[in-house]
Amino acid sequence: MTRDSNLYASKGSLVALMVLALSLLALPVQAAVDIGKVISSSGSFMAKQSDGQTRKLKRRSKIHEGDLLITGANSQAQIRFKDSSLLELKPNTEFKVDEFSFSGKADGSEKSVYSLIKGGMRTITGKIGKKDKSKYKVNTPVASIGIRGTHYGLQLCTSGSCNGDDGLFGGIYEGAIVLGNESGEHPIGADGWNWFYVPAEGGDPQRLDALPAPMAEAEPDPDATAEEGGEAGDDGTADSGLDEDTDLAVDEEVVAVETAAAPTDTTTPTGDVSDPTNDFQSTEQTTGDSTTTGNISPTATAAPKGGWLGIGFNQDHTDYGIEAVGEGLQIDGDTTITLDTVGGVGNVPVFGSIVETDASENDPCDPCTFSSGSATLKDDGGVSTGAPDNASFAANYGRWDDGYAITDNGVPETPLGSFHYLYVASEHLTSDYSEANACVAGLDCDLFTGAHFVGRFVYADGPPPTDHTGASGSVVSDPDFTHIDVDFATQEIVGLQIKVDVGGVTYHGFDSEFVLFEDPVVEQDMSFSNIIADGESIDLIGTIDDGANTYDLVGEIGLTFIGPDAEAMGAGFGMWEDEMDSTMSVAGVGLFKRCEGGVDNCGSVSTTASFAAPGTWMGVAFLNDMGGSVGKVGTAESFITDVDTALVLDTVGPVGNVPLFGAMQDLSDPMSPCDPCVIANGSATLVDTGGISTGTPDFAPFAVNWGRWDGGYIAEQSGIQANTLGSLHYLHVDPSHVSSSTDYSNASACATLDCSGGGAGIARFTYHSGPSPTDHTGATGSVNSDPNITHVDVNFFTQAIVGTQITVDVGSGQYHGLDSTSPVQVLSFSNIIAGGEQIELNGVYTPSAGPTTNLVGQMGVTFLGPDADGAGVSFSMWGDTAPSALGVSGVGVFKRCDTAITSGPGACN
């Protein structure tokens, strides 16, 4: 069972010349460096090397720097580079890898330069360019492409190749690009302009209203003949261009189960499932380790159809390194499992087989098998119906340790460690997991208040997971880091994390937005119909942390619902290093129990906590130390609670509306996606709280509250936990006090307060109050309230922010930031206020003595009150030269001036 990873002369005598030639032959040959790998291909696909030689490419072929990649007339290919970027090449395409350098992290040495010479491409950018956009570039004869982190496509038409106009056609699926040619640089995608065309002769890009026809037409002909594609098979039809071994390889597909000698009795196997007094706790048998000879015993029986088996194991593939498998197998006519009683333990899978020859499968099994062989049965246990906790289902688990066998299409694999299993008979699986059934049986479905019915499942029990060395570990049971969230209203899985510790190494995976190793790139289908009913696995991404270094992770997990009302879930999981020659992995199975009685059992949330109402705004700001060549950086966010953003509020001591936990999923910026982004109070101390009540002070027509969590708070982005510094600052605004788009329209905003500043309808907001900002050391300071150097200026006639400055004094130094003008920002209300985008800042830090330091930063803004009477602001600034050694962050309330902006004395100087 295999998978694609991701994913890296001078003149002289004749004698002298002979000696020179021999010496040159003796020199070591510089091996080509692998920078990527072919995920899939069809038809003719080749690479022309810099030395002029060519290589035929197929699935799993390595890609090298300098390769000119060429697809045929009815061909296409997909490549995964070492920085995790994905590239799809269309038919009749020539694409060159001019430069590629990536050490495994964005440390300043990374760089990728490509050339689209002809044809079409589509790509999702990876780590290169994520922090420094100048590190990524695609050249074409018409224009060059830079990124702001994105998913985009290009089609280059030359000499009438597209049956129409020549030039460059493009489309932005997510994010934005910067297109450059002799007419200048042109940002595309940030303002909703997604499709464009640049004529072959150059000039400004032209806006298109829909997907350009050449991009839609650049697909291979499904009826292409063998002469146009790969080698012909025995039947004369064209194959995929892959060799026989590759075609039959199983990509992350494992399965277990039947031999011709296995009995066909369909009666339910007997034998104790578990100790009925230990539901959701370890229930190891007291008979000691048991062994089987590998031959099916006379007591073995075929598992009845309709059951489910979760499996997880590690293996060492000769070509691709160490990997893991995590699957949920539905026992049907194609998947068969043989059960036996081993040493007094019943319902133990001893053999399995799966036949999967569906043409839609990338890696068919014909068959793939598992056998317990000479392995030792360990850590067996389970759950019995009725007790404890009145469990309404039964399930059993265990692991075969060392000596089991795996085959992939008849070819033996090299298993590592243990084969983990979780077996559930059909009568204990959930047949009706509809909202109507799942949410009426006294189980909580209202994890997020509102129209959705989200249930959280937290880890309860299972055998210890094992890694590639055979070492056993544990699943981290903290619900904040290991959980499955499902929405019974929309019938889909909406969030998943699993964290495992083994031998000082932590594996932390969470659901990926996209299906891994798939061509073309598609989003994961997380619907119950796909994951539960059809048995598809969920692809995982994340990190591996060995205490000294972190590594990218990929993986998979198979799931099912258990019990008459979906009271529990079963899982089989595997995670491994996201490298072409991976060196570490972990696998296991587990039972997840559904939370009851509210969210207090579903994470670090008190029994008095509640979820913030939709439309709540919260400004958040903090610093973290990314170490290495990056150093200290900051975050300033504008959270608006909706279906993708949740905020948990509680009363802490006498202080109300205090945020304890927040989670946001936002994939609009591939440079810095939130999948999800999480903040939590952790072990921090609440300090510096305060707020404004309606009517006071200054008769404010709005109410807000603020504070900061000092030391010990948690911040995590897409599964990667930050090394937080100082305080987590927050500013909370109830939906009733957040200005609506009607409130900050010209008609409303200028009806009661002055907007005529400078004769252009400009209003100024100046700093009013908030918690003390803190720097990277945790030291507190103050926002400088001088309106000349701290303000937000807006134009209600053009509906845009026209100028911002923020000045903060901490210790003996001063941070001063203002809105950046390069690159050009979209500062419209629709982008910043309604869309929640940040304003990018630059500026300078001035110490009392010594040289100054250039700054970068970001600011989040919203309007407050029925007529945009105030503004809520979050901000963060840090050093612009890596590694950054300093930073500051905070939040604040800004009050709108009731007089015009003047040069004389007054609040709005």
Q: Are 764 and 751 in contact (CB under 8 A)?
A: no
Lowest mean pLDDT among 77-86, 487-496, 664-673: 664-673
**CA gap 866, 511 in Å, rounded:** 40
pLDDT, position 282: 30
* pTM for this prediction: 0.47
Q: What is the pLDDT of residue 699?
A: 65
Task: Tell me what the mean pLDDT of segment 783-799 comes to.
Answer: 92
Q: What average pLDDT does the chain have?
A: 78
The model's pLDDT over 437-460, given as tens digits with 9 standing for 90+, comes to: 777 654 555 543 333 457 788 898
| pLDDT value at residue 841 | 95
Neighbouring C-alpha atoms within 13 Å toward the C-beta of 438: 27
Q: Is 34-212's fold the same as 743-896's?
A: no
The confidence score (pLDDT) of residue 609 equals 65
User: If you average pLDDT over each of 48-52, 188-192, 580-584, 723-727, which comes out highest?
Assistant: 723-727
User: What does the pLDDT look like over 498-532, one tens digit per residue?
Assistant: 999 999 999 999 887 666 655 455 678 889 999 99
**Three-state DSSP class for 357?**
coil
Distance separating alpha carbons of residues 649 and 646, to the nearest angstrom:
10
- The DSSP secondary-structure symbol of 456 reads E
pLDDT at 392: 78
Closest CA to 176 of 203, 148, 199, 201: 148
Decide if pLDDT at 25 tops 50: no
DSSP result, 157-192: E-TTTTSS--EEEEEEEEEEEEEEETTEEEEESTTS
Q: How far apart are CA 91 and CA 562, in angstroms?
A: 46
> What is the model's pLDDT at position 899?
61
3-state DSSP assignment of residue 872: strand
Would you state the pLDDT for residue 100?
A: 93
Average the pLDDT over each of 24-33, 500-509, 534-543 and give the range with the smallest value: 24-33
**C-alpha to C-alpha distance for 649 and 606, rounded to whole angstroms:** 10
Per-residue pLDDT at 14 exceeds 80: no
pLDDT tens digits for range 235-291: 332 232 323 232 222 222 222 222 222 233 333 333 332 332 223 333 333 233 333
pLDDT of residue 50: 83
Q: Which of 784, 638, 622, 647 is nearest to 708 (CA)?
A: 622
pLDDT at 596 over 60: no
The CATH code for residues 743-896 is 2.40.128
- pLDDT for residue 190 is more than 70: no
What pLDDT sits at residue 262? 29
Considering only CA atoms, which of 414, 404, 411 is closest in space to residue 315? 414
Nearest 10 degrees: Cα torsion 247, 250, 256, 258: 0
pLDDT band at 654 (very low <50, low <70, confident <90, very high): confident
How do residues 333-368 score in pLDDT, each as one tens digit?
789 999 999 988 999 999 998 877 554 444 566 688
Model pLDDT for residues 729-773, shown as the tens digit of each residue:
999 999 999 998 888 888 777 776 667 655 566 888 999 999 999
- The residue whose two tokens read 């569906």 is 358
Fold of 34-212: Jelly Rolls (2.60.120)
360-391 pLDDT, tens digit each: 444 566 688 999 999 999 999 988 876 545 56
Q: Using CA atoms, how far apart are residues 719 and 545, in angstroms rounded to an integer?
A: 12
Domain boundaries, the chain: 34-212, 307-439+451-594, 611-734, 743-896
Of residues 859 and 681, more confidently modeled = 859
- Residue, of 230 and 719, whose pLDDT is higher: 719
H or E segment at 810?
Answer: strand 800-810
pLDDT band for position 13 (cuts 50, 70, 90): very low
List the structure tokens of 169: 């056609």
Confidence (pLDDT) at 520 = 52
